[in-house]
Structure 1
């Protein structure tokens, strides 16, 4: 398992080419390359030319840091056909950047619109008819997150959409801070997905269903909003023993092709300290889960 830093909290304070050295200074050997205005921005065409891609790869080599995964967020499931077609073109460039960086793992979101689930699913599969042969030809795996406000938000429902593609090059991203939006029991999702889970994001969140749905209040009541946070481990309601135990059960923690990402976005003012804390906690929980699994296997 590769443990990676999501550098999003440092976008305001560091340049793109400074991220690899920053990750190394914080103790990480890997980076997740998330949307950035100079590389692959949200929703629009990638802005990096081949020279910038080479510079970023050299910065990684110089810092002894690798890119574990590249994360674009594009409107490939959007019901608007013009924007969907554009997103497919942008995806092709993002895949090429990923390959040129020497990376074979991507992760992303389903996107689309929850109020238009059938239209969005149709758009997703149409985009994949064109993109799946590219992923397979380039040897790139893409893991997809059912993000709050996507056309599919629930864990098991997302897995069914992924299975419908019938490709070993497509799997699932499990984001801990989306736990309370995915409806299904975390262990049930992990067991059903198995080795299709290739990327997990580690950050905490409050359970917005708690206190009879009054943990958060929006006005007027009934607003169509999705509320979650990306807090450091222990600051929310995620059951971390369950989370890491589930990953241990499906073998995620022992594989060389899986990626665990620290993705805390809520504490930029202490991002250095939080990033180090996250790294220590991820190692600790993973080691404990592996120890419990080994003990259980030895006693059965």
Structure 2
């Protein structure tokens, strides 16, 4: 049965790292995905947790009855210039070591390249993976990747092609609900193609930026190269959750023991507790069908 986890990003601004598992448990969740926290593995920088802090976090999670499904680091592993890419690989290697020490079997991440340099970013991604895959295999950790808006690849099918090109079953796909429209709004056709290489689904809603002839959002000056999306509660945006969960059910994802669904709402920090509980109730209903 699929595991439901909480993304504690809304808690980061007012909870110390070691207090997060207790807070997650109070919200009703039995699992969490550890996202970039200043004391663990911040965005784009060297992880700040030593082995002792990681062990303390693991103990606090166990004491709270909260499992750690996965880590979410974001490093510039597809950056088109070498100094940044090499630093990212070193940082990511340390994240893998931390995951191994925590006994966490999954890392979910992003490509983290640049859309204005797609070929150089793709080449950088493959160079980085040549270095990281042996470490992942040695530690027995699965890697899943989300083609995030403003990355060198945003379309879901094209991202799957990039991942498939690695020719390594250890690397899979993260389907983020709030990125649906940047993916090409293709859940019904993409999810069957991913099969068991779909490793995780993030549950948050978003408006379709393509509506109103591209004027759903207006930025000035016109023509800005921006990508806009939200991480709203399910039902507050335009994502077709019936279609998405129908595709997940038909593909067998919801019946897999290794499948992860992460609630990751970031737009409701002022009511984070209410939002987290509502999300959990909604996800349980969607899974149950």
Q: Assess same fold via TM > 0.5.
A: yes
Structure 1: distance between partners of 2:13 and 2:136? 32
Contact 1:156 1:184 in 2 (8 A): no
Aligned pairs (5 A) from 1:165-176: 165-176=166-177
Equivalent position SS for 1:261: strand
Aligned to 2:15: 14
Deviation digits for residues 210-229 of structure 1 (CA, Å, limit 9, x no counterpart): 11111100011110000000
Structure 1 residue 160: Cα displacement: 0.5
* Counterparts of 2:21 and 2:253, CA distance in 1: 25
Matched, 1:55 2:50: no
Q: What secondary structure does 2:55 align onto?
A: helix
1:226-265 alignment to 2 at 5 Å? 226-265=227-266
Q: Residue 20 of structure 1: CA displacement?
A: 0.7
**Offset of residue 108 of structure 1:** 0.2
Q: Give the root-mean-square deviation of aligned CA atoms.
A: 0.7
Counterparts of 1:107 and 1:185 in 2: how far apart (Å)? 21
* Alpha-carbon separation, structure 2, partners of 1:72 and 1:12: 17
- Tell me how far apart the structure 2 counterparts of residues 286 and 184 of structure 1 sit (CA, whole Å): 21
Runs of 4+ in 1 over 2 A off after TM superposition: none
Quote the residue 2:95 is aligned against: 94
| Count of residue pairs brought into register by the alignment | 288
Question: Which residue matches 2:143?
Answer: 142
Q: Which residue of 1 aligns with 2:179?
A: 178
State the partner residue of 1:292.
none
Stretches of structure 1 lacking an aligned partner (at least 5 in a row)? 289-300
Deviations 1:222-264 (A, max 9, x none): 1000000000011000001001111111111111111100000
What's the offset of the Cα at 1:184?
Answer: 4.8
- Tell me the residue number matched to 1:23: 24
Distance 1:97 1:22 in 2: 22
Q: Secondary structure at the match of 1:4?
A: strand
Q: Is the 8 A contact 1:233 1:281 kept in 2?
A: yes
> For 2:75 and 2:5, how far apart are their aligned partners in 1?
22
CA distance in 2, matches of 1:246, 1:273: 28
Show the counterpart of 1:119: 120
The Cα offsets for residues 114-147 of structure 1, whole Å up to 9 and x where unpaired, read as 0100000000000000101111111100000000
Structure 2: gaps spanning 5 or more residues: none
* Structure 1 position 15, deviation (Å): 1.1
Q: Paired residue for 2:216?
A: 215
Which residue pairs with 2:41 in the alignment? 40
TM norm structure 1: 0.95
Equivalent position of 2:152 in the other structure: 151
Structure 2 partner of 1:274: 275
* Residue in 2 that maps onto 1:295: none
